[in-house]
Structure 1
Amino acid sequence: MECDASCSMVYCGKSSVEDEIATRLKKDNVLKLPDDTQVSLLLQSEDEAETLLLKDYSSFDLSLFMDSLTARRFGRFLIWSPRLSTTHDVVSHNFSELPLGAVCVTDVQFKGRGRSKNVWESPKGCLMYSFNLEMVDGQVVHLIQYVVGLAVTEAVKSVCDKKGLPYIDVKIKWPNDIYLNGLKVGGFLCTARYRSKKFDVSAGVGLNVDNEQPTTCLNAVLKDLSPTSDVFKREELLGAFFDKFEMLFDLLMRRGFKSLEELYNRTWLHSEQKVVVEDRIDDKVVQNVVTIQGLTSSGYLLAIGDDNQMYELRPDGNSFDFLKGLIRRKL
């Protein structure tokens, strides 16, 4: 990341508690980036921050986001920057310094992270953010990505309800993509590090709200349905996301993924979908068709074969499309 005005970061909080944290973080100057880039740290109340926010009409509206947020733990401390390499680095490399539930948002991201070390640039019009959380039970850490995906789709539906917008049927493509009308409009990625008997989890989301390239976006589909209706705003979607995530996360912790499984199966694209699995038998590749039924307890695809045998399907790690190049094992 170049060391210029784009390195500026603005801190803001939902209440005086978070504002005090912001003041301390700025004073101590502890926020670091992996490439040791020097950043200019600003409080929302400062004139420089206001100037930066007003410089571009498409900048993230911090006040609108905070007004939209009702979550008690997540999203209440926010870092915004007009341009970052990746929000994930801000969160993951400063895990100990930031309060739990802190979120980093940027308007332009030029080294976004995906599966298999994929990197891409996300332009203006996308909602791009990463946040942190802490988990103790290693048995459920791998399931957090499904909670994040559900929170994204539920947030879109919630905003539609609140604003009286036409229903936008966003879906999850396993394991970490968001689809709309058969086209990808977003994705999410979670990473975890075990430290001091706990898991430090960094979750990142990218959602194309108002940019029709390279596929489509929420507002383009919305305008097709109702040209005169209001539009989705990134700030309102992010507020709704944390409200939904907090509720779904608490359900996962109290009752396990079974409490979310029905909702997840209604939201994803794959129930009863048939996929081809390639098995290697005696140095020969044999193709078999299986039907997806749901998820296994370990978070992989549950499928049934023509022989009525249940299988667990896992990506082989080599295919760009994770519904191709699957390997299976009997259950």
Structure 2
Amino acid sequence: MLLRVLLFHSLLRYPSLRSKPVNKTSVSYCYCNNLSASTFMASSVVDCSTLVLCGKSLAEIEAAKAIKSSNTLKLPDNEELSIVLQSELDGENVMRRSFNVDSFMNSLCTDTFGRLLVWSPRLASTHDVVSHNFCELPIGSVCLADVQTKGRGRSKNVWESPLGCLLFSFTLQMEDGRIVPLVQYVVSLAITEAVKDICNKNGLPSVDVKIKWPNDLYLNGLKVGGILCTSTYKLKKFNVSAGIGLNVNNEKPTTCLNTKLRELSVEAYRFQREDVLATFFNKFETFYRLFIDQGFQSLEELYYKTWLHSGQRVIVQEKNDDNVVEHVVTIQGLTSSGYLLAVGDDSQLCELHPDGNSFDFFKGLVRRKLE
């Protein structure tokens, strides 16, 4: 199968996000100290975002208390913010109605990642929370929202994701800038392997989520997820914020994990966001250590079993003066810098780069010959 390559745009959008105009009077949620279920209410008057801080062990609980006491967390545009500790929620825990923190923490088996959770029923962007507060949060902290209203989109579009998506962002720190672009592939692989692991542990048929380079997740030919990794450089370290969106239980506008289970006639089990998130971090921490210690080559074989592109033939269009020259190349894998490695019909190896203009990652690939 030939794929015609024309243009490219380096934009990642979460899978279930739809363009929607901003409504200044839209419903928001607010928590207060000593929160009870009766105070968890929708309000068109109060315009604030609420962050509930949760920790797996005493160390993370103390870190959460320090974060709240410092009162240094912030949101873009000086949006009003309310911060609450999980311990301040009363016995009628409203979080059980949405994200079950206890279930997540009990399934989490990591030393670093996911152990401090920042949860909110509704946020503009989880990625904004971790990237704007990177230095205030312990490395490995995760921010999760039930609903996200301003996922990043093209041309300043506002994107809204419905209930049922697993929407989260977390922090990590790296020293070697040469491998920073590859970490998105480790994140992608951890998500796909987490879904497989849950299926295996529960005796389920395989729900085979695939990776579309560089950072999309596909199921049955439809997009069900995406990854966004950004970084800043400070004090000789790269501060990386990784954001993930995965359709778990919302079958619109494409499909989701639980729709696939129904298609496989599985009725007794449904994927839960808590299980997927915990299993993801368990996988990611293992993969990330291998990645840092041994390089991405330690994960390549598994990655290539999961992505969609081995042997895929694409047409690269190049301008030569006023003429457009087409070259047919076959994708072989990834180069050490994280771009596509391909070979032409003339056996010439080349590296394919995006040109930064098109909406589709596989349009506008620029060929660079390799010696």
What is the TM-score with the length of structure 1 in the denominator? 0.95
State the SS of the aligned residue for 1:40. strand
CA gap of 1:119–1:317, structure 2 versus 1, over 3 A, is farther
CA gap of 1:44–1:116, structure 2 versus 1, over 3 A, is same
Q: Is 2:123 aligned against 1:81? A: no
Q: What code does the residue aligned with 1:209 have?
A: V
What does residue 266 of structure 1 align with?
305
1:183-231 deviations in Å (ceiling 9; x for gaps): 0000001001000010000000000000011110000001110232301
Separation in structure 1 between the aligned mates of residue 145 and residue 190 of structure 2, nearest angstrom: 20
What does residue 70 of structure 2 align with?
28
The aligned runs of 1:26-105 (5 Å cut-off) are 26-47=68-89, 51-54=93-96, 57=97, 59-105=98-144
Asked if structure 1 preserves the Cα contact closer than 8 Å seen for 2:164 and 2:249, the reply is yes
What does residue 162 of structure 1 align with?
201
CA RMSD of aligned residues (A): 1.7
Asked if structure 2 preserves the Cα contact closer than 8 Å seen for 1:114 and 1:189, the reply is no
What does residue 251 of structure 2 align with?
212
The aligned runs of 1:138-177 (5 Å cut-off) are 138-177=177-216
State the SS of the aligned residue for 2:77. coil
State the SS of the aligned residue for 1:137. coil
Match of 1:296 among 331, 335, 338: 335
Q: What code does the residue aligned with 1:130 have?
A: S
State the SS of the aligned residue for 1:80. strand
Separation in structure 1 between the aligned mates of residue 320 and residue 53 of structure 2, nearest angstrom: 57
Q: What code does the residue aligned with 1:134 have?
A: Q
What does residue 363 of structure 2 align with?
324
Asked if structure 2 preserves the Cα contact closer than 8 Å seen for 1:276 and 1:324, the reply is no
Separation in structure 2 between the aligned mates of residue 118 and residue 221 of structure 1, nearest angstrom: 30
1:129-172 deviations in Å (ceiling 9; x for gaps): 00001101111111100000001101111111122221111100
Separation in structure 2 between the aligned mates of residue 262 and residue 124 of structure 1, nearest angstrom: 35
State the SS of the aligned residue for 1:8. strand
Separation in structure 2 between the aligned mates of residue 317 and residue 139 of structure 1, nearest angstrom: 20
What does residue 288 of structure 2 align with?
249
**Structure 2: tracts of 5 or more residues without a match:** 1-23, 31-47
- Runs of at least 4 residues off by over 3 Å: 1-4, 48-52, 114-119
Q: CA deviation at 1:114?
A: 5.7
Match of 1:276 among 291, 302, 315: 315
What does residue 3 of structure 2 align with?
none
State the SS of the aligned residue for 1:108. strand
Separation in structure 1 between the aligned mates of residue 352 and residue 316 of structure 2, nearest angstrom: 8
Match of 2:57 among 2, 15, 19: 15
Separation in structure 1 between the aligned mates of residue 274 and residue 192 of structure 2, nearest angstrom: 15
State the SS of the aligned residue for 1:272. coil
CA gap of 1:274–1:87, structure 2 versus 1, over 3 A, is same
Separation in structure 1 between the aligned mates of residue 266 and residue 204 of structure 2, nearest angstrom: 11
Per mean C-alpha deviation after superposition, the further-off stretch among 262-271 and 277-286 is 277-286
1:85-112 deviations in Å (ceiling 9; x for gaps): 0000110111111000000000000111
Separation in structure 2 between the aligned mates of residue 67 and residue 108 of structure 1, nearest angstrom: 23
State the SS of the aligned residue for 1:270. coil
1:237-268 deviations in Å (ceiling 9; x for gaps): 00000011101110011101111111111110
Percent of matched pairs sharing the same residue: 62
Q: CA deviation at 1:49?
A: 9.3
Match of 1:224 among 263, 268, 276: 263
Asked if structure 1 preserves the Cα contact closer than 8 Å seen for 2:226 and 2:245, the reply is yes
CA gap of 1:185–1:30, structure 2 versus 1, over 3 A, is same
Aligned residues: 328
What is the TM-score with the length of structure 2 in the denominator? 0.85
CA gap of 1:263–1:138, structure 2 versus 1, over 3 A, is same
Asked if structure 2 preserves the Cα contact closer than 8 Å seen for 1:79 and 1:105, the reply is yes
Asked if structure 1 preserves the Cα contact closer than 8 Å seen for 2:261 and 2:267, the reply is no
